[in-house]
Amino acid sequence: MELVSQNRCFGGTQSVYRHRSEICDGEMTLGLFLPPQAANGPVPLLWYLSGLTCTHENAMIKAGLQRHAAEHGLAVVFPDTSPRGEGVADDQAYDLGQGAGFYVNATQRPWARHFRMYDYIVTELPTLLMEEQPLNGQHGITGHSMGGHGALTIAFRNPELFRSVSAFAPIVNPTRSDWGRKQFSAYLGDDEAHWVDYDACLLLAERGWAGDILIDQGATDQFLDLLRPEAMANLMAERRQAGVMRMQAGYDHSYYFVASFGEDHVRWHAERLKAA
């Protein structure tokens, strides 16, 4: 990985790296926070997946997770939300193309060549980070909005890799939402049988989750009809799934919401990763 920048941060370091991705067939950029404890040995890693229109920078700058991660001895990685650059397919709409990878492996033209964010997060980037950074192999995953969708679906499909999962205002049922149906049709085609592996509610119903789940949702979120939190709440109750889904009064969809409850999520993951 090529180091782009590095700054001292809460006794640790906040770095930005770029690297050539074979899976996404292009250059990818990511942020990585290492806590002060990493100077003495490998530490657990918390993945933060960002939402629509975001880059690696949004949560790295706005979510305030580094302070809490330093306290609990967690590294945090902030991947980008899609491949980017000249020659990478894009769309004029904010919710398709660059900045809107939806953490799927696209199968349709013109997206299939580059938009393979699922494999990038599950296969390529973990291998690269473990090879080059002081990490102990214990992974947790969280994310916001589209990134919350990615965190839940990736964890449910890969429990051997991710030991803990949480989400902020996730898109939980994209096969029944305009934030999902539009993108899945473009990236995966019109056969909805190919969409099942990228819907958190459908995956939880089929596969379950051995651990517990933490989800925070703003009660005055302007995108509630697209996020469909009631679908996940009802499913967790029906399955008697261990976890907590909290509707936070007065909070919207912004990073003010994420920053307000980030400490809870970092502590949640730290407790589970250190006990693993």
Q: Which two tokens stand for residue 192?
A: 């909805």
Catalytic residue among 56, 253, 265, 269: 253
Amino acid at 3: L
Catalytic residue among 149, 221, 265, 269: 221
Q: Would you call 21 a catalytic residue per the annotation? A: no
Render 23-62 in DSSP notation, one character per residue. Answer: TTTEEEEEEEEE-GGGGGS-EEEEEEE--TT--SHHHHHH
DSSP H/E element including 138: strand 135-143
**Backbone phi and psi for residue 98, each to the nearest 5 degrees, phi listed first:** -60, 130
Q: Would you call 221 a catalytic residue per the annotation? A: yes
- Taking alpha carbons only, the member of 17, 270, 6 closest to residue 136 is 270
Catalytic residue among 145, 164, 166, 177: 145
**Backbone phi and psi for residue 14, each to the nearest 5 degrees, phi listed first:** -105, 115
Alpha-carbon span 105 to 190, nearest angstrom: 15
Q: Which two tokens stand for residue 158?
A: 């890969």
Residue positions annotated with a catalytic role? 145, 221, 253
